[in-house]
Amino acid sequence: MKIRTGLLIAATMMMAGAGQPDLAQPLSMDVQGLRSARGNFLICVTRQAAHFPDCSKDPEGRHFTLPVTSGAVALGRMEPGTYAIAIIHDENANGKLDTFAGIPREGVGFSRNPAIRFGAPSFRSAQFAVTGAAVRQDIKVKYFL
């Protein structure tokens, strides 16, 4: 009886010390509609509406630059929650969105492909959930000039 009790106590202690399994899930995007393969993607992935579409000042957001590529682009592992993605096809690789009279000269795209009218769409229209499975967003890049 003492042995069983000792084993039960040891097993309980080991289980209490065990960490939660990794809940983060892989997030990727597939970019469609590119007019050229030049330049970079400027990517913003955020959970905060206040930091969308430019999450450069979001302490929890991901803001990075990747060379333009076709096919799936891995964006890392994300904790469960609600996110939105904004991308710029920075064709001249100068690290910013070039505009003319406020109109983008380079391509832009957003998760869930919301309508783009005057300015960037809202966080709400671009948001998607990361849950218990890998998530992929198909993003169509739009060009205005």
pLDDT tens-place string over residues 33-55: 999 999 999 999 999 999 999 99
Mention every residue, 6+ apart, whose C-beta is less than 8 A from residue 62: 43, 44, 45, 46, 55, 75, 76
- With residue 65 as reference, give the H or E element that holds it: strand 62-67
The string of pLDDT tens digits covering residues 7-38 is 444 444 444 444 455 789 999 999 999 999 99
pTM for this predicted structure: 0.84
